[in-house]
Structure 1
Amino acid sequence: MSLSIIIAGLATGLLLGVFGSGGSIITMPALLYLLHVEPKSAIAMSLGIVAVTATITAIQHWKRGNVNLKVTAMFGLFGVAGTYAGALLGVITPVVIQLGLFAVVMYAAAWKMLKPKPQHRSVGAAAVIECDSGDCEAPHYGHIALHGIGVGILTGVVGVGGGFLIVPALVLLSGLSMKRAVGTSLSIVALKSFAGFAGYAGTVSVDYGLMAIFTAIAIAGSFAGSMLSHRLPAEHLKKGFGGFLMLVASYILIKSVVFG
């Protein structure tokens, strides 16, 4: 087992455990550049790895009461349809376009991570605390469905779970607290990633042995990430992750799009 698999697998699990997102953004480049997997195969395998890892992590959050199953069902239903369609589109999309879109998604995620945290008034903070019980959640299901389709298509085409887009959507459209948004996001990411993997399976080559090893390490990392999320300053982690995303996105653009 190579050190690259261990590092990438742990990073995938840690990000999913701490933020409820970011797994595919690590997994796909690791498979592509560290383990030299073909681009379309890397996208498919990334979806499969994140699907299993996110499922395990989502179960942990569900046991703590941090998953809204109704929102998961609505977002997941439309997200799965969008992801499967996106995967079928991704199979025939030129690799340079897929990698270019992936880099753009990474820049967007980096911007979200590096953006200063908005200041909340004390009244707003009290409202967030009350939302932890789920009492003040008021989902806008029409908006959730549309967002699910859009994020799903993106997931299928470029191989990202879309958690960094789902979490803020759940907070804004459903009134979920951050804890419940992260847990619910993981359950949605799992559903969409399974659908994306199904869309690629049978049409591209998949190394199931490598997937199994990577997934096992990622699951271990997700347990550690769940524990770290309660101990480490989230803002410091977000800024470090954002800077890392900027570097990797720039590398992908330079290597695969500009000189590819």
Structure 2
Amino acid sequence: MRALILLGLVGFAAQLVDGSLGMAYGVTSTTLLLAIGTNAAAASATVHLAEIGTTLASGISHWRFGNVDWKVVVRIGIPGAVGAFAGATFLSSLSTEVAAPVMSIILLTLGVYILVRFTAFGLPRGNLGKPLRRRFLAPLGLLAGFVDATGGGGWGPVGTPAILASGRLAPRKVVGSVDASEFLVAIAASVGFFVGIGSENIDFAWVAVLLLGGVIAAPIAAWLVRHIPPRILGSAVGGVIVLTNVRSLLRSDWIKASGGVQTVAYLVIAVVWAAAVAYSVREYRRDKANESVEAVESAESARQRRGAEEEPASA
């Protein structure tokens, strides 16, 4: 019972992060399932089955708050579904001994990317309003879908930063559109896993609990995306993913690191992680302070212009 409650809380927290950042539900949930001994294909299948419900709830919530661009959803979601089906069947064909470290490497890479991306760069906002081309979105969706299925997560970490980096879509619409399109990816990946491994390795109670936690969090996250500081949240989540998957790799048959090596590695990651979060907090506060100064200067400039226009009239 404790395990189910924990999974429900993880599903809630993961969807809260995913709905606010446009990434990390699958990466966070799969990382936990791997940490408690679930085999790679079954972990990814469990998460993707839960995501059918969570992404539907998240997509509807984002749509209700005006966070979805449906052209982007179609242009990235359909290629993403193709890539996810291919990735699911590929992962299903690997042995457990090979699949677990491979998935940990993919998750670790995505965790490092999230940590560095949000800590160092925050959210780019240039080029807003310019169209996103199909020739950009289709290959991106194909790659993100394949990585998502093989890594148990990755649709958001690959798709969201790439679209944000283009600077052509408002951040809240990037998050909403990526979350809405993930519904197609989750369905395709789930079908691929059923074809590859069947249903006997999937614990449907775990699926239901992850789904319940995610569905509860979805509308809250859709509202929070307008208010939460993504830079700080991205740094925090990236650190969790990096630490957990380094732990899995160091304990795997590929490395079998000694206890001392593991302790040193964890301490180094913890220090870097804490520094990253602190830096993100500092940069966020500085950006907010700069925005306040610019707002005051803009208001003062507007007041002076009005005063200059009123003087000739009164004369």
Could you say which TM-score interval applies, normalised by the shorter chain?
Answer: 0.7 to 0.9
Q: What RMSD in Å do the two structures reach over aligned CA positions?
A: 2.3
Instruction: Tell me the residue number matched to 1:237.
Output: 233
Aligned length, in residue pairs: 247
Matched, 1:64 2:65: yes
Instruction: Tell me the residue number matched to 1:144.
Output: 137
Q: Label 1:236 to 1:101 Cα distance change in 2 as closer, same or farther (>3 A).
A: closer
Counterpart of 1:206 (choices 202, 207, 228) is 202
Q: Label 1:33 to 1:249 Cα distance change in 2 as closer, same or farther (>3 A).
A: closer
Instruction: Tell me the residue number matched to 1:195.
Output: 188
Shift of 1:149: 1.2
Of structures 1 and 2, the one scoring higher in RCO (CA 8 A, sep 6+) is 1
Counterpart of 1:28 (choices 30, 34, 42) is 30
Counterpart of 1:100 (choices 97, 105, 108) is 105
Q: Kindly indicate whether the alpha-carbon contact (under 8 Å) linking 2:104 and 2:245 is maintained by their aligned counterparts in 1.
A: no
Shift of 1:43: 1.2
Shift of 1:71: 1.5
Query: In the aligned structure 2, how far is the partner of 1:168 from the partner of 1:231?
Result: 19
Q: Label 1:108 to 1:91 Cα distance change in 2 as closer, same or farther (>3 A).
A: same
Matched, 1:117 2:122: yes
Q: Label 1:138 to 1:230 Cα distance change in 2 as closer, same or farther (>3 A).
A: closer
Query: In the aligned structure 2, how far is the partner of 1:171 from the partner of 1:28?
Result: 24
Q: Kindly indicate whether the alpha-carbon contact (under 8 Å) linking 1:66 and 1:179 is maintained by their aligned counterparts in 2.
A: yes
> What do residues 37-87 of structure 1 show as CA deviations (whole Å, max 9, x unaligned)?
332211111112223212211111112222111121111111111111111
Q: Kindly indicate whether the alpha-carbon contact (under 8 Å) linking 2:87 and 2:146 is maintained by their aligned counterparts in 1.
A: yes
Instruction: Tell me the residue number matched to 2:164.
Output: 171
> What do residues 186-218 of structure 1 show as CA deviations (whole Å, max 9, x unaligned)?
012221122111100143321112201221012
Instruction: Tell me the residue number matched to 1:14.
Output: 16
Shift of 1:163: 0.7
Instruction: Tell me the residue number matched to 1:50.
Output: 51
Q: Label 1:168 to 1:235 Cα distance change in 2 as closer, same or farther (>3 A).
A: closer
Q: Kindly indicate whether the alpha-carbon contact (under 8 Å) linking 1:11 and 1:26 is maintained by their aligned counterparts in 2.
A: no
Query: In the aligned structure 2, how far is the partner of 1:97 from the partner of 1:23?
Result: 19
Q: Label 1:47 to 1:73 Cα distance change in 2 as closer, same or farther (>3 A).
A: same
Q: Label 1:87 to 1:236 Cα distance change in 2 as closer, same or farther (>3 A).
A: same
Instruction: Tell me the residue number matched to 2:7.
Output: 5
Query: In the aligned structure 2, how far is the partner of 1:101 from the partner of 1:229?
Result: 26
The one-letter code sitting in structure 2 at the alignment partner of 1:226 is A
Q: Kindly indicate whether the alpha-carbon contact (under 8 Å) linking 1:109 and 1:245 is maintained by their aligned counterparts in 2.
A: no
Query: In the aligned structure 2, how far is the partner of 1:26 from the partner of 1:40?
Result: 15
> What do residues 116-145 of structure 1 show as CA deviations (whole Å, max 9, x unaligned)?
43787xxx5xx74xxxxxxx2412111211
Shift of 1:171: 3.3
Counterpart of 2:179 (choices 186, 189, 198) is 186
Instruction: Tell me the residue number matched to 1:131.
Output: none
Specify every segment of 5 or more residues in structure 2 that has no aligned partner in the other structure, as ranges.
258-315
Instruction: Tell me the residue number matched to 1:225.
Output: 221
> What do residues 207-257 of structure 1 show as CA deviations (whole Å, max 9, x unaligned)?
112201221012112233233333433332222222222212211221235
Q: State the identity %.
A: 20
TM-score normalised by the chain length of structure 1: 0.85
TM-score normalised by the chain length of structure 2: 0.71
Query: In the aligned structure 2, how far is the partner of 1:232 from the partner of 1:69?
Result: 24
Q: Kindly indicate whether the alpha-carbon contact (under 8 Å) linking 1:140 and 1:173 is maintained by their aligned counterparts in 2.
A: no
Q: Kindly indicate whether the alpha-carbon contact (under 8 Å) linking 1:79 and 1:152 is maintained by their aligned counterparts in 2.
A: yes
